[in-house]
Amino acid sequence: MCAALKNRERTSKALNLVTLQRALSKLGFCSRSQAGLLIASGNVQVNAKLCADPEQWIDLVQDLITVDGRQLSRKKFCYVLFHKQAGIVTTRTDERGRKTIYDILDPSMRHLMPVGRLDKETSGMLLLTNDHQWAERMTNPKSHVRKLYDVQVDRPLTLQEEKSLRSGICIRNDGNDYVTLPATLTREGTLKYRIGLTEGKNRQVRKMFKAAGADIVSLKRIAIGSLKLGTLPSGHWRVLSEEETALSKQVESSGADAGISKRNY
């Protein structure tokens, strides 16, 4: 890396300079990928001038950014932990008329987006936020944020089947064969298991146990990274504390969680 670029990077950190694409994300307007599309389409202005360069340096304190005439400013971020019941879907609206999480949540939370999904019959911990950057990194497989699930199955697994779930098992994903990453698995009872994943393919836990030869009777997510569902009743929610939010950001930035290193996977 040339000296000039190093100096510019040091200057950007000292003066709160970021690229325009990153600025839209840091201000909570949209994700970085969505920001790139907005900028390329000519919808973004900086100090009343059209800017089509996503890499242009922006001073978050002094520069004025507008998107489609709407002035952006630092917004107050909100982080909510919701105990989703089985039987409702994780969407804002449903074309089939099924009940959604937004029918349960307070109307003031409709602007919050889910951080990842839970399928209709899966219960447990769901995070919601208006912090697009945090949500994107919490769900990015490269962050290695672990999701922990309690599983009840229709029959006990053999030791070999348990071993296959831990080491990686072949499932179908988007029409292709896929071998899952190593997972943690503990037996909690005759028909109960606790499994931890650092990835999140569509209906992955259900597909993994199906591939091992057992059907899931109930599935509940109990933790994401350092955040835990705890004793929060089903259908209730709470706002994360500043300490919880700060810790979760440290966890997902470092690529580990709850004291478990990547080597455990």
The residues annotated with a catalytic role in the active site are 119
Q: Which residues pair with 45 in a beta bridge?
A: 50, 66
Distance CA 34, CA 36 (A): 5
Distance CA 249, CA 51 (A): 31
How many CB atoms are located within 10 Å of the residue 99 CB?
Answer: 13
Which H or E element spans position 152? strand 147-153
Query: Which stretches of the chain are DSSP H helices?
Result: 3-14, 20-26, 32-40, 132-139, 159-167, 204-212, 242-254
The answer to whether 60 and 27 have CB atoms below 8 angstroms apart is: yes
Q: What is the DSSP secondary structure assignment for residue 100, as one 8-state letter?
A: B
Q: Which CA distances in Å does 204 have to 8, 155, 160, 168?
A: 43, 19, 19, 12
In order, the DSSP letters of 214-258 are --EEEEEEEEETTEE-TTPPTT-EEEPPHHHHHHHHHHHHHT-BT
